[in-house]
Structure formats: structure tokens, C-alpha cells
């Protein structure tokens, strides 16, 4: 299902990249994102597990593990997305209905193509692209 994890994770990474001269606490980042610091810590943990961020215990702040041009938005998406599917199909359509008995298989094909197209677009965009666009705003 579509959620805000990806956009918040990209926000976190862009902030860490553009404000690299000062270590940022999850409270500071949460203020920029306008969310709870717990959300920032959870997403940062997922980004660390995906080897996108690195941090040291007891020290505030985190750093990218590689250059922004080497981090695709697909890398970030895969790090923070908890489900493999972008779209979910409603549960238990009526199997005795002409539409209900075939809707899942029909939509699975369409939704799979949409998922693949979205992932390809995310693979073509990097964190550096986002930062460059931010600088042009």
C-alpha cells in the first residue's frame, strides 16, 4: 500500500546530505519532517540495515555509506517499504460473481506492470537528483 515512508526517508537522507557539517539528532530531523522522532529513528534504522546510513552508538547524527549519486530512490524504497506490493487487492471477492471470480487475476497483471514501471523510474533517480532539484527550488 502507498504510504509516506519513502518520502520521509528521502527527506531524512536529503537533510543529512545537505546539512552534513553538523550531526543531527532525530529530534532535529523530526522537526524538519514535521513528524515524531520515533518515526525518524525507525526509518533511520531501516536505512542502516540496508547499508544506506551509518551511525555510531552514543553519538548523534548519521552519515551516508556512499555518495548520493550512488543511492537510487529504488534503494531507499526497498529499504523502507514493508510490503512487496504497491497495491493490494480487496479480500475475498464473491467467487460466484462473474467479475468477483476473475478480478484478482485481472488486476494482478495490471498492478504488477505498474509496480515494475514505478520501480524502474525509482531506479533511474538518485538521491543526488533529489538534492539537485531541491537546490533549484
Q: Which domain CATH number covers 91?
A: 1.10.10.10
Domain count along the chain: 1
Q: For position 85, what pLDDT does the model report?
A: 62
The residue range of the domain holding 25 is 5-135
Question: What's the pTM?
Answer: 0.85
Q: What pLDDT tens digit does each residue of the chain (137 aa) get?
A: 457 899 999 999 999 999 877 778 899 999 999 999 999 999 999 999 999 999 887 777 899 999 999 999 999 999 998 766 667 777 788 888 989 888 888 888 888 898 899 999 999 999 999 999 999 88
Q: Please, is 59 exposed, middle or buried when counting C-beta atoms within 10 Å of its C-beta (0-12, 13-18, 19+)? A: exposed
Q: CA-to-CA distance for 3 and 93, rounded, in angstroms?
A: 24
Q: Which letter does DSSP use for residue 105 in this model? A: H
* Structure confidence at residue 1 (pLDDT): 47
Amino acid at each position: 500500500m502507498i504510504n509516506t515512508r519513502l518520502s520521509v526517508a528521502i527527506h531524512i537522507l536529503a537533510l543529512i546530505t545537505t546539512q552534513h557539517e553538523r550531526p543531527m539528532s532525530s529530534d532535529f530531523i523530526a522537526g524538519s519532517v514535521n513528524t515524531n522522532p520515533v518515526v525518524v529513528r525507525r526509518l533511520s534504522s531501516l536505512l542502516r540495515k540496508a547499508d544506506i546510513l551509518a551511525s555510531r552508538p552514543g553519538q548523534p547524527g548519521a552519515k551516508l555509506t556512499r555518495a548520493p549519486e550512488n543511492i537510487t530512490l529504488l534503494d531507499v524504497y526497498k529499504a523502507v517499504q514493508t510490503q512487496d506490493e504497491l497495491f493490494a487487492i480487496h479480500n475475498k471477492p464473491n467467487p460466484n460473481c462473474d467479475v468477483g471470480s476473475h478480478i484478482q487475476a485481472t488486476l494482478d497483471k495490471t498492478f504488477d506492470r505498474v509496480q515494475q514501471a514505478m520501480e524502474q523510474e525509482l531506479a533511474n533517480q538518485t538521491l543526488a537528483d533529489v538534492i539537485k532539484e531541491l537546490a533549484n527550488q
